[in-house]
Chain A
Amino acid sequence: MHETSIALSLLNSLSELAEKERAKEVTKVRVRIGKLSGIVVDSFVFAFNALKPDYPKLGRAELLVEEVPSRYRCLDCGNEFEVETIYFPECTRCRSVNLKLISGEELEVVDVEIEV
């Protein structure tokens, strides 16, 4: 349930941003959430939408989530591949477990659209 506290902290920083930019309102916010970030996207979106009416300039802010798959590079054969499982992944070509994570841990705000 830490989705709620992350949504709250996002709303707070959007609120600050709206003040700083003298915006009438925030209309869109784009975030990237990796498969391995430990965030359940649905809970996050739910919490964001449930809490946003409490913020004067965020009531109509639309949250756009880009889900980033987990991608690994095999350090033995160079193969790059996506996996669904969060459990011990192995190379889809040579079955090596000697892997480097390339993406999937993202948890970031990309940009924010405001109405000024």
Chain B
Amino acid sequence: MCDVCGCGHDHVHENRAVVSDDSTRRVVEIKKSLLDENERIAEVNRKHFDEKGVLAVNLISSPGSGKTTLLEKTIEALKGEFKIGVLEGDIETERDAERVRAKGAYAVQLTTGGACHLEAPLVHKGFHALEKQMNGGAPDILFIENVGNLVCPSSFYLGEHVRVVLVSVPEGPDKPAKYPKAFKTSNIFIITKSDLIPYFDFDVEKVKREALSLNPNLKVFVLSAKTGEGLEEWFNYLKELVRRKKGGK
């Protein structure tokens, strides 16, 4: 049984060896990651998602980069075709869950208690709450809007299939250099608010190049939720990912 909530998923046990032994003091060799507990539950989440055919997408950015706005547009465009679920972890904007629900998604607001990132156990609970909201069903796409922060969320795997890092044009072009880990651990990089490019010193090609030098496998999108520029490509890519998920394995 899964000790997260008893939902029936097994977990791996740690392996360790006793290396030295004197009468009262003993050193126990551990050799495991400090993030082990989180990773273990993330793997349980991943299994949940796979069994239910859910494509899980973890969105990471600073506060205000446009995650919720992009989700609103995405839900409007894809809700006819797919069931969409959202876990809202952003503590900056308590009402994000309502915003995306109003567009036709199922949504659960996660309360991190002030934490600066989401962790796998909370996502686990949130996903079960979402399933309940859907009367036992599961979404085709699960968006997890992480807490607005470019540092901490990148250390915590949640069980997602796809990790997206977003940077908005007004935030400036130095984000890849300053937050390399977010870019190294992501699969997709989205430059948002492209309608503002004329007003800011933001060299799109240079930012792309820097991001790709950190992680050559990044798929890059440049888009504006306001004008609609670039949205179609993003939608099509998501559709393709869902198709692969359903058809693939």
Contact = CB atoms under 8 A, between A and B. Distances in A.
Contacts of A5: 115, 119
Contacts of A38: 151-152, 154-155, 181
Interface stretch (A53-61, A76-84, A106-114): A106-114
A2 B105 CA distance: 30
A26 B117 CA distance: 29
Interface string B62-90: 00000000000000000000000000000
Nearest to A26: B28
Given A107-B34, A108-B32, 6 more contacts: A88-B210, A108-B30, A108-B33, A111-B27, A114-B27, A116-B24
Contacts of B19: 111
Interface residues of B, number: 31
A112 B177 contact: no
Interface in B1-36: 19, 24-36
B143 to A, nearest CB: 22
B200 interface: no
Contacts of A114: 25-28
A31 B33 CA distance: 9
A13 B31 CA distance: 13
B72 to A, nearest CB: 28
B156 interface: yes
B241 interface: no
Interface string B153-196: 01110000000000000000000011011000000000000000
B213 interface: yes
Nearest to B116: A1
Q: Which range contains the number of A residues in contact with the other chain? A: 20 to 34
B227 to A, nearest CB: 32
Interface of A: 1-2, 5-6, 9-10, 12-13, 17, 21, 23, 27, 31, 33, 36-39, 86-88, 97, 107-116
Looking at A2, A33, A38, A107, the one whose CB has the most chain B CB atoms below 10 A away is: A2
A81 to B, nearest CB: 18
Given A1-B115, A38-B152, A109 B26 contact: no
A67 B18 CA distance: 24
7 contacts: A9-B35, A10-B34, A33-B34, A86-B180, A109-B34, A110-B29, A114-B25
Nearest to A17: B28
Contacts of B115: 1-2, 5
Looking at B25, B32, B213, the one whose CB has the most chain A CB atoms below 10 A away is: B25
Given A2-B152, A5-B115, A88-B177, A113 B26 contact: yes
A1 B112 CA distance: 13
Nearest to B21: A116
Contacts of B156: 2
A115 B28 contact: no
B203 interface: no
